[in-house]
Amino acid sequence: MSDIIQLLPDHLANQIAAGEVIQRPASAVKELLENAVDAGATSVQLIIEDAGKALVQVIDNGKGMSATDARMAFERHATSKIKSIEDLFNIRTMGFRGEALASIAAVAQVELKTRRAEDELGTRIFIENSKVTDQEPVNHPVGTSIAMKNVFFNVPARRNFLKSNSTELRNIIDEFTRVAMAFPNVQFTMHSNGQQVFFLEKGSAKQRIVQLLGNQYNAKLVAINDDTDYMVIRGFIGKPDTARKTRGDQYFFVNNRFIKSAYLNHAVTNAYDNLIAKDSYPSYVLYIDLDPTEVDINVHPTKQEIKFTDEKIAYAFVQAAIKHGLAQFSLSPSLDFSLNADIQQLDAVHQPVTDGMTEKVQSSKLFQAFSQKNQAHIIEPDTPAPASNFTGWQQTKEQNKEIQKSIAGQKDNPQTEVWQSELSKLRNSFFDTSSKTAFEGFDHEHRPASKEARFGWLPNTPLIQLHNTYIVASSTDGYMLIHQHNAHERIMYEQLSKAIHGKAVATQQNLFPVSIMLSPADTVLLAEILPDLKQLGYQIEPDDSGAFIIKGTPADVEIGNEQKQVEDMLERLKHFNSDIKFSKREKLIRTLAYQQSIKTGRYLTEKEMTAVVEQLFLCATPNTTPGGQPTYVSYKLGQLERMFG
């Protein structure tokens, strides 16, 4: 029998190895930008064409390379930074200049131009399939230019697995952002298909953060600066009011290298305990400097996953630094997060009290009754507020009866007209239909559904809201406990799914169009989904300045809140994009269904509760949300009877 084990050809081995380092154009962007920084560059340019599929070029003004080094840099295992095993555990640079270049040269056509300051002429090298096809002297400024063209041209199967241009471009922007944020002392520019995406001047860390993440952070950052014997922690964290419902802008840098660490993220989140809601996430950009021997960066080929020699110490120092920063700026809990978030935005919550407001309060009968001696028991009724539970509704009915009795017995009394007015106010306050609700955009179909379609719900029985979160509904053999947010999310999901494939959602035109300026990453994302958003009721158009004009929104988006709705939608969609099992359109529908559904903690009228329950049981899949959470739980009469013996 002949021998069957053989060595792989060099070009095939290089392509297999390249798969660990160069997974997409963004991977090459990361490696080339890091190499430019390691070369001592003070100015770095990134040029992209066709989302990196046609071209990724990085131009720097670093120290450049000699002709010999330029050729050696593309050999496997070639590096200028490792000479002994000790060097491997004492790395202070970003890349290993050569490791990535060999991988890039294995899957793309590469052109390198470089010159050192002491050389009169530079060197040009062209490589294809890991082989140098051309090398010659060339005029070139001091520094290096590397152009990666036609990525995966020789591995078409891998090229077919690349995502859409907008997705690949967002990945490139993410890598660019991470490197640029780590080195604010370096000027970075980025162009895509001839359009400038970034121009980042040298500056402070805070200036770079605001340049990359947006002006909304300018007055929302708290400085962190803790110097210990083990590590130095500096950077910025967002004030509690910048916390988001999805993982927002969170960046860790260890010795200027971007890392991902669920362990350290937990330390930061814990430091915000009682300052933000339990289901919210803080924003932060933190730079950690420590002895390279205390950290292992070779856990993963991308070097984004690291290990500390003592993770408990790192956790404790990070948490302490965040708590110290928050305490230094006297940031303490000021909001009750069990309240509806809409309440926290009311003028009474966040606007200062004026002299006129104080005078108005002090002149009221209620204030005088409590402030004057022996008057606390004298409280004259004002217009009653809407009932918030079943008990309050019963009390309102009793008040209604008393007023009616008084009117019947006092027909000729001048006060009767006042009582009739009070009765009218009472009715209007309880059955108020004038306010704008989340149900205005509903396609109301108040047709009776079959008993089977309603899953046993008895439509002519009263509904009760518990804790402004749950709806109690009677059923044929017991009762149902319906979660108002989950139920409405299912309703919105099915309505949006129909709309995106059929008749578009109605758009309410804004009297005053709203202009919003987004970060480059969000700009790419919004431009990608504009056609689908139009079908779902949003009229948003780009303008010449790079901003977007919101001209119309679905009927259930509150007027004056359009910008926040769009920003929140993009934030949620960004962090939904990592789930590859859903299409782009499905992710958008699920994002909007969650965002536009009524929230827990919101009071619902009888009419609104009926609309939720009625439409839930008209859904094709009424028992769960799109994400699989239950919308209701059924309880049988037998269970109740057993509980009561």
Instruction: For the chain, list the domains and their CATH numbers.
Output: 10-198 (3.30.565.10), 206-328 (3.30.230.10), 355-430 (no CATH), 436-645 (3.30.1370.100)
Point out the residues of the chain with pLDDT beneath 50: 96-97, 331-346, 349-350, 376-377, 379, 382-397, 403, 411, 414, 416, 418-419, 422-438, 440-442, 444-453
Q: What is the pLDDT of residues 190-234, one digit of tens each?
A: 999 998 999 999 999 999 999 898 888 888 899 999 998 889 999
Task: Say what the pLDDT of residue 206 is.
Answer: 94
Strands 55-60 and 143-149: antiparallel
Mind giving me the DSSP string for 368-411? Answer: HHHHSTT-TT-----SPPPP-SHHHHHHHHHHHHHHHHHHHH-T
Partnered with residue 97 across adjacent β-strands are: none
Q: What is the pLDDT of residues 491-534, one digit of tens each?
A: 999 999 998 888 888 888 888 888 888 888 888 889 889 999 99
Task: Say what the pLDDT of residue 245 is.
Answer: 74
Contacts (Cβ under 8 Å, ≥6 apart) of 78: 72, 98, 99, 102
Strands 464-466 and 307-308: unpaired
CB atoms under 10 Å from CB of 319, counted, come to 18
* Residue 111: its H or E element: strand 109-115
Strands (E), 201-338: 221-227, 231-238, 250-254, 257-259, 284-290, 295-296, 307-308
Q: How many Å apart are CA 571 and CA 216, to the nearest integer?
A: 14
CB atoms under 10 Å from CB of 120, counted, come to 8
Q: How far out from the chain centre does Cα 255 lie?
A: 26
What is the pTM assigned to this prediction?
A: 0.67
Tokens of 50: 């066709």
Listed residue (585, 612, 616, 618) closest to 599, CA to CA: 612
388-396: long-range pairs with CB below 8 Å, 24+: 388/465, 388/468, 388/603, 389/464, 389/465, 389/466, 390/464, 393/430, 396/426, 396/430
* Residue 507: its H or E element: strand 507-516
Task: Say what the pLDDT of residue 352 is.
Answer: 54
Strands (E), 246-328: 250-254, 257-259, 284-290, 295-296, 307-308
Q: How many Å apart are CA 496 and CA 585, to the nearest integer?
A: 11
Contact predicate 546/595, CB 8 Å: no
476-479: long-range pairs with CB below 8 Å, 24+: 476/451, 477/636, 477/637, 478/634, 478/635, 478/636, 478/637, 478/638, 478/639, 478/640, 479/634, 479/635
Contact predicate 552/538, CB 8 Å: yes
Task: Say what the pLDDT of residue 52 is.
Answer: 95
Strands 131-138 and 195-200: unpaired
242 half-sphere exposure, CB direction, 13 A CA radius: 21
Backbone angles phi, psi at 225, to 5 degrees: -155, 90
Q: How many Å apart are CA 35 and CA 547, to the nearest integer?
A: 33
Strands 295-296 and 307-308: antiparallel
Mind giving me the DSSP string for 121-132? Answer: SEEEEEEETTEE
- What interhelical angle do 99-107 and 10-21 show, nearest 10? 110
Note the maximum CA span of the chain: 120
Contact predicate 555/539, CB 8 Å: no
Q: How many Å apart are CA 245 and CA 321, to the nearest integer?
A: 24
Q: How many Å apart are CA 43 and CA 61, to the nearest integer?
A: 6
CB atoms under 10 Å from CB of 168, counted, come to 20
The sign of the CA dihedral 517, 518, 524, 529 is: negative
Backbone angles phi, psi at 296, to 5 degrees: -110, 115
579 half-sphere exposure, CB direction, 13 A CA radius: 16
Contact predicate 598/589, CB 8 Å: no
Q: How far out from the chain centre does Cα 319 lie?
A: 23
Task: Say what the pLDDT of residue 53 is.
Answer: 94
**DSSP for residue 448:** P
Strands (E), 141-194: 143-149, 187-192
* Residue 167: its H or E element: helix 165-182
Contacts (Cβ under 8 Å, ≥6 apart) of 149: 54, 55, 108, 109, 110, 111
Task: Say what the pLDDT of residue 441 is.
Answer: 46
Q: How many Å apart are CA 284 and CA 639, to the nearest integer?
A: 49
Q: How many Å apart are CA 198 and CA 415, to the nearest integer?
A: 72
Task: Say what the pLDDT of residue 434 is.
Answer: 36
Q: How many Å apart are CA 133 and CA 112, to the nearest integer?
A: 12
Contact predicate 18/107, CB 8 Å: yes
